[in-house]
Structure 1
Amino acid sequence: MNFNNIDKQIIITQAGEGNTQINNFPSLPPQLQTNPFTPPQPRKGGLFGREEELEKLHQLLQSGKNVCVVSGMGGVGKTGLVREYANLTECTSFFTGGVYYIDARDRQNMAAEIIALTKWRFKAELPADLSTQQMVKACWQAWKGQTENVLLILDDVSGLAENIKTYLPPTDLVSMRLLMTSRETPDKRIAEKLELQVLSEAAAVDLLASIIGQSRVDQEPEQAKLLCYELGYLPLALELVAYYLDDEDYQDLSLLAMRGKLQEKVKHPSLSPEQVPGGMQAQRGLQAAFDLSWDELKPEAKHLACVLGAFAASPVYWGFVTRIYQQLQGESFNEDNLKDRWLKSLRKLHLVITVEENIYNLHLLIHDYFSQQFKQHSDYSQIKQVYCNVFVDIAGDVEQSSNLETFNLIEPHLKKMIAWRKSNENTQLAYSLNQLALLYESQGRYNDAELLYLQSLDISKRQRGADHPLVASSLNNLAGIYESQGRYNDAELLYLQSLDIRKCQLDNDHPDIATSLNNLALLYKLQGRYNDAESLFLQSLDIRKRQFVADYSDVAQSLNNLAELYTLQGNYNEAEPLYLQSLDISKHQLGNDHPNVATSLNNLAELYRLQGRYNDAEPLYLQSSEIRKCQLGADHPDIAQSLNNLALLYYLQGNYNEAEPLYLQSLEIWKRQLDAEHPNVATGLNNLAVLYEVQGRYNEAEPLFLQSLDIRKRQLGAEHPDVADSLNNLAELYRNQGRYNDAETLYLQSLEIWKRQLGTDHPDVAQSLNNLALLYHSQGRYNDAEPLYLQSLEIRKRQLGADHPSVATSLNNLALLYESQGKYSEAEDLAQQALAIYQNRLGNQHPNTQNAAVTVKLLYVMGLLHCNKETLISILQALAQQANFPALNTETALTLLEMIESNPEHLSSIREYLQQQTEASDSDT
């Protein structure tokens, strides 16, 4: 039995008010759940005439160099080749560690793509203070732990000559193969090269026949050959022309007539090979195929093609297209026509490719062609303006919980809108930059987010002046980034500036002032400045009550945040009615099934958990989880929060087998939806490690603690308080393993971080002092332990109040130290104080109360029997065995101690037994 009370950091994710306010528009794609790096499916029907190239590519990827580039002109089929290869059995059998695909076109920062993949694959973060080049090196270092062969495909890389060296894997990364496609030729010293040529005549004819039918080719074999020649034997050009011929309106068109149509499109008097170089011939044939397909389109389909050309060269979510048309056409907009007629006509001619339901893509060359047509369209300015307006609205949909796939569908198009708007600096541009920053923040890309927030702030200042409310909003959002990074002093300065501007420019009761007060209070709560936080929370609540009716949702939010503060202070009786009020308002305003109601239920359950009211907490956690599943989907990050908190409840009840699968489910959801390097993933790893530790599964716990620590260091910085939490928990593991020197080093590091970041009087500093004292206590270094226990106790009294449960923990641990030193009278007095606090604040059924009751009874009975603790516990174990108790736990220990205390016969017989033992020992001596 262990009657010590130890402060262990198990992280609970609660929902206070966020720092960035966003609008809600139902325009974003649903949260996707697939692997965002899965290679796309190959061309239906396979490739023609590429058998030798596929075999050669497979051989090159097994050669000495770990980089290979497939090069060739646009339209020659490089993308088709690598996609075909990625789906071959020979490829997947050899690269058993996985095949990953990144569409690199229109991506200016290849390093960011490699970093994103690495973070997703290993569910881990990189240190935020590294340069981009250092981050790429760290990525390759992470892949060295992958023993199975891995293939990474970067498709359509530009700037190969200038950029390749910055993101090449090191030569000693033997399990990795990097396969790129590019129109440029690489340096043969650093990469294997497969230069893809145009198709042979026979393969080109076979490709044509596979689409239009062999019978049409057989009717005009020579014309088929000439047609393929005039198209330069390029697969893309051949496919476009073949799908044109396959259209029901042209199935009777001869190949000779088709050649005539193409010749009209080529802007040159002759197509003879003597007069036109082969490469130019191929490109002119491709241009002619584009023009021919374009002429086939109705004006409405051409208009849609121009709208698609306005997007960035990345996959397009159909919902974005329909929003543009809703603004362009107003009430006359007919989505059925747009999709079932005009989109269908583009797909029929193979100009648009379906990636998956409601997500479409264009070949890069087709995208370029559509873009050129867009620039020449009479509606160019109108389409461009509406595109920008729509993406300003879409920017408002960005959530801090956006997953990686959602990020990839929004980011390139939002960046294009911003690029268009940069020449006209205004508040809309500042807002768009702010929302793109929020998108980066959702992926933990704090450095990218900070840069954009700073740009937004700078524009707002220039456009509106340094004292404008919009500037206050920018300062608020930038402060939120600094708060997330643990840069509390920087955050406080900006929050105060934001608050000052709002106080000067707005009425005293303006809602934005309430928001500023609330956010500053949240920061002070993190810093342990509870009195300052309470004052601000109350001011914010008062404004919201005056501005809105008493049951408005912002009032519910303020009540929730104040309740969280009181919970941290151990003022549970004050917190409960506030949580209940917040819950009632949310239900009344939003309905019983709203996600905010789920949050309120979760937080109330958390209060009951802290009070040891486990039976009250469990149904609330379950209700919260069910609402979130119904409203948000089973894979939403908030579901992970619910599973995590329910797992913690089961952990505290000792139901370890029920807790573990919930922790694992929670962790997997966070990894899939938020990236493997997200701080929430670090929380999930930490909590799972704590569970394994208490089960004695130390070898499983340690790597999880280390992973959690690494993520926090990379994402939050080495000085973040969460890093101190991880160091503390790892130290606790080492203490339990008897690795005292390792534990002491980590405890001291943790203590120093908390002191520097939070101040010497923060409750977390008290926790660190307590745990370091516990280590010294375990080592018998009583003189070192006592002053630390006393410092911890004094901080907790000052910061939390003399009757806080953490004060009781300090009193209890100090009592156990005095007991170890034989100071039984002092120990019993402190233990009684601890028990009284626990009974008053937590109730008699709470585990801490029962443990404290055991400590008090132990000390009292030790005094009656004049024996030490070890002797008394041995007696209790013997009595438990005689009474057929299954184990000596808290409940049975209390029962036996009360029996000894209250029964003179038992007391007398035990005294007699102890006397006999003493005499026997003296006789032996």
Structure 2
Amino acid sequence: MPQSTLTASTIGLKQAQKALQSLGLSQRGLASAIQLAHEYAFVSRGVIDKFFNGLPIRNEGFVLICKTLNLDWAGIVGLETSPTVQEASEPFSTQPTQQHRVKTETVGINRAVVDSPTNLPRSGIKDFVGRNEPLQQLHRQLQASERAEISVISGMGGIGKTELALQYALQSYQQQTYPGGICWLQAQEQNIGAQIVDFAQVQLGLNVPQELPLEQQVAFCWRYWPPGSVLVVLDHVIDYRSVEHYLPSAKSRFKVLITTRQAQLAEGLISLQLDVLSEAGGLDLLRSLIGTARINQELQSAKELCQRLGCLPLGLNLVGSYLARKLDWSLDQMLEELATKGLATPALDKTLPGMTAQHGIVAAFNMSWKSLNEEGRRLACFLSCFAQAPIPWILVEGALGWDRSTLEELRDEQLFGLHLLERLDNGVYRLHHLVWEFFREQLENDETCAEVKHAFCRQMIAVAKWMPQTATFRQLRIAEVVIPHLTEALAISTSHELRRVLFSELRQIIVIELRQLIFSMIKRLIASPLRRVVLS
């Protein structure tokens, strides 16, 4: 097998360092010098660091460094790693001619094998489970068009948007899908432009003119970015307009991936809406954290734990990591803890060092809560009065003195817009279990708590009185949905009079429903083949 890497000898390193000094270059500047001296060529800062530390690097990168330093590569390389002259001196390009392709394939030299620049953070998970389909869909979206694409991963806080983007980037780095580099940018409370310039200087070795305004510095970076397709990830974008002017222009080799909680970040963007894990995915995640044997021993409790946490990846990760440290705890004990303390359970409170997530459940939801205006928060508190069941929107209309259009605007732009409210069907919505708990806590701590609960109870009484004494099938189906919310109103009401009315109305609806149920059962029995046996 031909040798594919080269290592500088001790004497060769001294010569290279002397040459670097004589040219007035730093190691960072050497990367830019290589790009200027050899069209389409690029050697990352990491590869240059390896060269000067006496570590093996790919043939083509070694030769380019030596050529730029005006050194004979054969005199710099250690004898034990010397390849043939043809093997080491072969040039490379991201867009080779057909003749060049034949040559590079013959000697095993390829642009993709040079380390692509990246600043990816470490992933804090052991096994990435339950997200294979979204991962494949994300890749298809980004590679679907020859023009520049911007793909968006959206979803509620804690759903795993950052982890999905990171796993895609890490896999792409390992497979060299983006030889031009993968640039990871933190959009929340950090300057995107400054991060891009810093990446270009540190990872690419570009000499960015500091006298230019920041936007022009960023444009310089995109213009002189080394060859090859590039992935740019912007994590946790809140306002698209604040980052849009920093994005690369419509060049096919730049692909942009954005994570956000906004359901509709901007027009024209391809969006992948991330949902909670399936029960099977949730169980796999718990197995990866606390072990297969432990889960299999308490499988039913593990399923209840997934249900209790709504299969939210952040919740499962936090609880799983907590149980991994609590070896004597059973899953039933964890369920009791959650039932007693709710979101105040220590397991949900904070993340561990090394985890991709930086916040516990309450802190994660607080970020979305702060994005709501006063009316949006009031509606969220009102919805927390409902039971943890599907909510027909007709039950909300007319509440809190708002007209229909105002309520719909608050619902769509505030709650649904931040993935805090899930749409199940036409006119039917639901709060995620943990979001419902969070909203209920906000209500209990609000000075208008009693007023909101009173309004909810009045609303439920009005709904109950609307139900007729003899119900049609459709009205009975509505009653099935309404009963859990009437029961919840009865539980949270602090007024004796309201409780008395609610109890009376609830009892009446249940009697009607039972009467109809018994009647239906008798009809089916009479119509069945066994009717002769029964009648006899």
- TM-score tier after normalising by the smaller chain length: 0.3 to 0.5
TM-score normalised to structure 2 length? 0.42
Q: Radius of gyration: which is bigger?
A: 1
Q: Which has the higher helix share?
A: 1
